Structure 1
């Protein structure tokens, strides 16, 4: 297999591995073909008003205004959300009653990968006001023309706006205007007075202020007060409009909470605990209690220990809303009706719960039929409850209880049936998981085996000695050799060209390899592990006696390893922006640039020219400009003056030019790497808010010393052709290493590279969780909410240190005479994380397991892609018209 084909095959295989967990663990739960189920008794309410305060934490509401919130007139509790705690899945759970799979979240906020049913779709009419990111997806999923949306512009969602409460004020004002205009529009007036009407008010201001100013800020708390006042005004207006007919039900809740540092997406309690307050028609009045037991201590903090707290899962709210206005339960809902919230007869409650059981059972039957159709052998191995006869017996018994007015028994039986049906749904939904998981695991092993065999055959003489003309025998020999030597002695003595390591040494090396891999795995859970690793790296020259021949370089190496080891000990999230540190990083970069430029100017190198110096001066100017823009932007936002247009233009211009400028610089090793650092650093500064701005400087310094240390290692281990780094030119570095054999140090270099890559990812934060993303990082580029642009900028910030390490490793490969095209890097730890993926337990555990596997697979894919990008950045040069003639070597 040729090298390009091999690389493409590797990319394809790893993309399949990456996508596999979503097909195995997180495929869409939606099925179609169910019969709608509706409670046969008259509902208590004609209309429902749903207030969703986006990004509202339970503690923020109940602590701030517990004496004035509507729980004095209704029931209250906490709605427990699931990860990812984002707006789209939160609203889908609230309104459609099911938890959207992870892949659907990646599709965006406006696009529905699969059409789904919702309370809005089942209503007679639904009018909604709010964000253009949320409302359209429920209108697109509705059948017919009865779901109407009124949205403000996307540009209104500005984190840098002077007052984000205007988003909520816009909603309240437009609702009032809408009802006022209906008095002169008979068609609209009649529609508003129909039954089964839903009014949805999406209030985004709290979320926007939380991102911009943090949940403990006065802006966030003031926004909650404004929402509280606005809700009171809307309730008063609606009661007046409908003549106080007592037929309006109200629900106030949130799609997700928010961390103290102004983000969401993971499973921290501040993100998963959201308020639920219900009042009005069909809703219970507040129930007085003497004591309540909950694991948390919130009741005392909120001074609500005497009012009964009734917690629900977020998906339970959809059947509650459906029951209040008498519409069919959403077809894919997995929620269980919270009867404690209902103020109605026991007969109505029993009938509603019976309807709930029928609706979930319908999903169970359709899912079972689909799986049996796909797996014909299922009939022989089926071992779950709820056979057809058991379903009939449950339903008959529950119906008899209702007829005999044994409503409590009927409710209890229906809850049991719902739980069994949900168990069955989970069983059938995960029926193929074991087979698919084993297939992927075997594929991991097979691919790793193949790659190691390719390395052995290409870079060692081990297999050549056993090869003969018998193809079957040859294949058996390959497998035998792999079993005996792979991982133990894939290292060749460069002098003797024979495998000469004793078995004890080989086993010791294998143990070291396993410990190294587990160290990398451990670092995903505890970042301080990287500090331990870097401190061990600091002592590497001493252990190997390298320090004897390179004392000065060793001293610098040790110092930079210790400095870099500090970063994993710094706080991951929750830190306040520290712009002076970013400015300090920019000024330090300029200072280093001046010294480096002076050094380049003094060197008698025939490739140096005035045009080259102009490139460096422009890059230094970009660093200075980026430093100014960061300081200016955050001062402007702090004063609530918005993002200056000039700053925004400079930021995007710097980003656009950062990839091209290094290609204009000389291809001499240190000059090209220095140019790459300056360009990437200019962009990184614009994406920094604190100490992380210093990280690329320390990392790049260590990478440059690493290149020099590897040169010293060449001589230490007796390898010839040690190039002079001062005059080494990437452009003329031909692949003279086609006969190069592997040796022990190559495995160590590979491990160093992977360790530095992991350090580049986790050195300044735990990006395994999206809730560590600080929106302030992108404020120099935009403040208007745009999830994909913001996500792309976040990814760029993560990739920049990654790219610095990749470019350094490219230099290590070519200067140590190891072909980059034939040097394979296997991420065996990916298999480890594959078995750690889970869809059960706490939502934090689930989210962490997904993100870890995605990260480690992305690392493997990125290492392949970055290898090509690093070669481009280091070896290619854009030749512009020059007055100075350049000579080749």
Structure 2
């Protein structure tokens, strides 16, 4: 227990040192430094401190490289995409196609709940009627099948359409190349096999519809994607109108002109011949839903209006197409969406609003939906689809990758060779022989791809390769036997037209067995894609673990060990025996790894995956004995502390699954701090009470819903609270200590908050006066520049500098704020101030402050927890699609991909820099004898524990949302570690020349 009089003794001891210094005139006492509160070390100690800083920064730099590299390791360990090319297509088995042509209407960004739903909003003209009457009409007439099409992730235009046209989806690395890239991966697709084809839509996906086998067979008519203004609903709707006009011109010959009397579409000489061909595919992309949904959110009346309007266009076009072909009944119609759109206007993740898209199909060769036995309690409908008013018919869902095989089976095309989807036979109105043959065609195509993938893997692995139990050769033999059985039945039953009941039952068994073989193929392909999974997992995990252990050892060496002990341990490690043995073992292991990687023709990055753990393990071996030196506590504290470190890392990890865990952690700290404060000081001090209160207040935010939209009331309350608090501290509490520039920035709060409130009055960003954007950019750049020049301010106290930084951050937050996010930064600032005072108070409990104690790990834990709430306090960003772009509209009229992402990341980093700066202040004011870099490396250990956990939690099975979220958690955790290092480095520079002012010492 430390009483108040002991604080007095500490102050008196400092005064005695000053008196002794003035009376003796000794240099050692003259060099007393108020910042460090101890005598300046001799020259050799100063040199050792420089060396320790150099080595600590070296470790951080290597750790930075490790994390940058290992972020991409999951794409080698878990998500390897083999894309075999040059295979011979599997032709249809001499069967007459079910239909001659296919018309595909794609709503870009169409949500299933809104497209299937009824008009119910006040702004809709026909309450109670379907938004797209054509859908309900065809289903209720018993002509169409319908359900949900599960889209792929990432749900971006090019990626989804690739899946629909080729049955091949790019893996999650596609999002790194940018969804707006015109050229995706090279792969096989439907348009390589059509006799004729048309495409109408944006240029961003036009290359997918070009035929490599017959370029003249397909006509691509597109408009530049750069012309789409996501904040101009009139212009977005115009593109759908243009599509409609072009198709009217194509199918009925009427010349359609736009308002400027410019011809929208002229028939080419070969168009008529193309339209008369069999195996024709016409693809129509309706872009207004995506454009309006992104700019105005799908809850906006303009989004629903665009769906109704485009639905009417499609209904008229269906009639025109049937008339053009004389109602010959040889046409198949498909109406679907490539992806949906979430409530916040995003679609780059696995949110069901983005991945559960509508799918309706009718026409020649289509089996209509069966009747439900009990429409009141339908078997195939859930609460989601019961709202559509179609419970009298059975719903049947498909995966997006199944579309190419379905299209091929309907119009008699080879299935694209990179296709991964399995044909949904339930949609086909055909004989059992036809179904068995077309499914076998699908199986042969998958088996051919499987064989090619195995060849590619086997070429690399050489004698290390082990074949899967269901090898391509075994599966090929099984399929050949099944094909013989089908051919025999077909010959006996006139291609199944006169098949007996027994023959149909036999065909159903063949179909069932074919599905089994297809499943075996998928297992084999999965085995090959993850062939080196365990091998690479071990390498990456060892990299993280070895770096974490090295952090322990290096910190203990340069903080806990005096020079004599360090020299003694270094001399022991330099003994010829130990040095040679460790070097020989390292060289032998490295040689074996190099040999294996060379023989298996591994990627160059694999050498780095193994190089890092070998290097870190070797360095840890050299530093291992330092972990037993200078620990500030007994052996029980040592064991207990390591156990608590692991447990604390696990607690931090769960915040990525549920934001509420951050609140629970802060509430536990709040209660624990009060108890600890009472036991240590005999009473609950004011500092302890403020820290406990701050923890309780900040814990409220993760319990609130994430900010997903503008809320004027929350914003006004936040703006008022921030303004009052900041004005009080700037013009009353710190009025004599602050620089004039800080007071000017305080006044700037009125503009930043006011302009954000003013911009809410504009329904369209394009209506905002241009000079406002110019002013906002000027303010933004000026505020960022003021951070750079903080080091030039005359005040050298770290707490005053931190307050100056907080004022800058509050201005920036107000510029971006859309709801209660401004209030969060205010409470967060109060938390940082309370934390600094709390650490200064509890640091007195440590008798020998130059050693690492369990309390230092507790401080590092609080730092990481504070950084976590900086990230999850007002949002739940476990996926790329969770970004809310509303705040970026203060600076951009049109959302530009790169600039938008940069602004969003900058907004997220605002509280991070404040947290990192507060950590520096804690080190300077509370733990003066502990190197701030060393204490920071202790906090990195917690981040490593989370990252290792997330690495092993990456999923390759399950729903797309589960797989995508598992990848996102690992990537975000790794990126946060990099961000911690970067912002700590910035904060270290900003506060490097600061010194504790006597006025703010206590």
In structure 1, the residue matched to 2:706 is 572
Is there any run of 5+ residues in structure 1 with no aligned partner, and where?
493-497, 721-739, 878-889
8 Å Cα contact 1:703-1:805 kept in structure 2: yes
Specify which of 85, 110, 118 is matched with residue 56 of structure 1: 110
Specify which of 522, 526, 530 is matched with residue 658 of structure 2: 526
In structure 2, relative to structure 1, the CA distance for the partners of 1:776 and 1:491 (3 Å cut) is: farther
Q: 1:765-790: CA deviations, max 9, x gaps?
A: 21112343233232223353433333
Specify which of 429, 449, 455 is matched with residue 363 of structure 1: 449
In structure 2, the residue matched to 1:105 is 175
In structure 2, the residue matched to 1:240 is 323
In structure 2, the residue matched to 1:556 is 690
In structure 2, the residue matched to 1:129 is 200
The alignment status of 1:374 with 2:453, answered yes or no, reads no
In structure 2, the residue matched to 1:585 is 718
For residues 696 and 881 of structure 2, the distance between their equivalents in structure 1, rounded to whole angstroms, comes to 29
Local SS of the residue matching 1:52: strand
8 Å Cα contact 2:444-2:479 kept in structure 1: no
In structure 1, the residue matched to 2:60 is 7
8 Å Cα contact 2:192-2:211 kept in structure 1: no
- Higher deviation after alignment, 20-29 or 41-50: 41-50
TM superposition score normalised by structure 1: 0.87
The alignment status of 1:450 with 2:525, answered yes or no, reads no
In structure 1, the residue matched to 2:825 is 696
In structure 2, relative to structure 1, the CA distance for the partners of 1:662 and 1:389 (3 Å cut) is: closer
For residues 58 and 154 of structure 2, the distance between their equivalents in structure 1, rounded to whole angstroms, comes to 37
8 Å Cα contact 2:340-2:356 kept in structure 1: yes
In structure 2, relative to structure 1, the CA distance for the partners of 1:254 and 1:683 (3 Å cut) is: same
In structure 2, relative to structure 1, the CA distance for the partners of 1:547 and 1:642 (3 Å cut) is: farther
Q: 1:567-613: CA deviations, max 9, x gaps?
A: 0110126x55212322433343333332233247743x5xx6xxx41
Specify which of 625, 632, 636 is matched with residue 504 of structure 1: 636
Shift of 1:131: 3.1
Specify which of 89, 95, 103 is matched with residue 41 of structure 1: 95
Specify which of 643, 667, 683 is matched with residue 535 of structure 1: 667
8 Å Cα contact 2:84-2:452 kept in structure 1: yes
Specify which of 224, 236, 249 is matched with residue 307 of structure 2: 224
In structure 2, relative to structure 1, the CA distance for the partners of 1:43 and 1:383 (3 Å cut) is: closer
Local SS of the residue matching 1:636: coil
In structure 1, the residue matched to 2:807 is 678
Q: 1:858-887: CA deviations, max 9, x gaps?
A: 12221222222223444599xxxxxxxxxx
In structure 2, relative to structure 1, the CA distance for the partners of 1:532 and 1:876 (3 Å cut) is: same
For residues 453 and 294 of structure 1, the distance between their equivalents in structure 2, rounded to whole angstroms, comes to 60
8 Å Cα contact 1:104-1:112 kept in structure 2: no
In structure 1, the residue matched to 2:960 is 843
In structure 2, the residue matched to 1:165 is 237
The alignment status of 1:802 with 2:912, answered yes or no, reads yes
Is there any run of 5+ residues in structure 2 with no aligned partner, and where?
1-53, 119-129, 256-264, 491-502, 583-615, 995-1002
Local SS of the residue matching 2:359: strand
In structure 2, the residue matched to 1:705 is 834
- Higher deviation after alignment, 860-869 or 683-692: 683-692
For residues 744 and 260 of structure 1, the distance between their equivalents in structure 2, rounded to whole angstroms, comes to 46
In structure 2, relative to structure 1, the CA distance for the partners of 1:327 and 1:147 (3 Å cut) is: farther
For residues 627 and 142 of structure 1, the distance between their equivalents in structure 2, rounded to whole angstroms, comes to 59
8 Å Cα contact 1:778-1:790 kept in structure 2: yes
8 Å Cα contact 1:654-1:682 kept in structure 2: no
In structure 2, relative to structure 1, the CA distance for the partners of 1:258 and 1:435 (3 Å cut) is: same
Specify which of 970, 983, 987 is matched with residue 870 of structure 1: 987
For residues 752 and 442 of structure 1, the distance between their equivalents in structure 2, rounded to whole angstroms, comes to 27
Specify which of 748, 767, 782 is matched with residue 657 of structure 1: 782
8 Å Cα contact 1:636-1:644 kept in structure 2: no
Shift of 1:25: 0.9
8 Å Cα contact 1:685-1:693 kept in structure 2: yes
Shift of 1:702: 1.4
Specify which of 879, 886, 901 is matched with residue 776 of structure 1: 886
Shift of 1:207: 3.0
The alignment status of 1:350 with 2:436, answered yes or no, reads yes
In structure 2, relative to structure 1, the CA distance for the partners of 1:188 and 1:843 (3 Å cut) is: closer
For residues 840 and 803 of structure 2, the distance between their equivalents in structure 1, rounded to whole angstroms, comes to 19
Specify which of 248, 254, 275 is matched with residue 176 of structure 1: 248
8 Å Cα contact 2:475-2:517 kept in structure 1: no
Local SS of the residue matching 1:129: strand
For residues 684 and 195 of structure 1, the distance between their equivalents in structure 2, rounded to whole angstroms, comes to 60
- Provide the aligned C-alpha RMSD in A: 3.4
In structure 1, the residue matched to 2:288 is 205
Shift of 1:142: 8.2
8 Å Cα contact 2:108-2:285 kept in structure 1: yes
Local SS of the residue matching 1:382: coil
In structure 2, the residue matched to 1:330 is 416
- Higher deviation after alignment, 194-203 or 360-369: 194-203
8 Å Cα contact 1:320-1:337 kept in structure 2: yes
In structure 2, the residue matched to 1:881 is none
- Higher deviation after alignment, 245-254 or 356-365: 245-254
Q: 1:711-766: CA deviations, max 9, x gaps?
A: 3334343578xxxxxxxxxxxxxxxxxxx543343322211111111111111121
TM superposition score normalised by structure 2: 0.78
The alignment status of 1:83 with 2:153, answered yes or no, reads yes
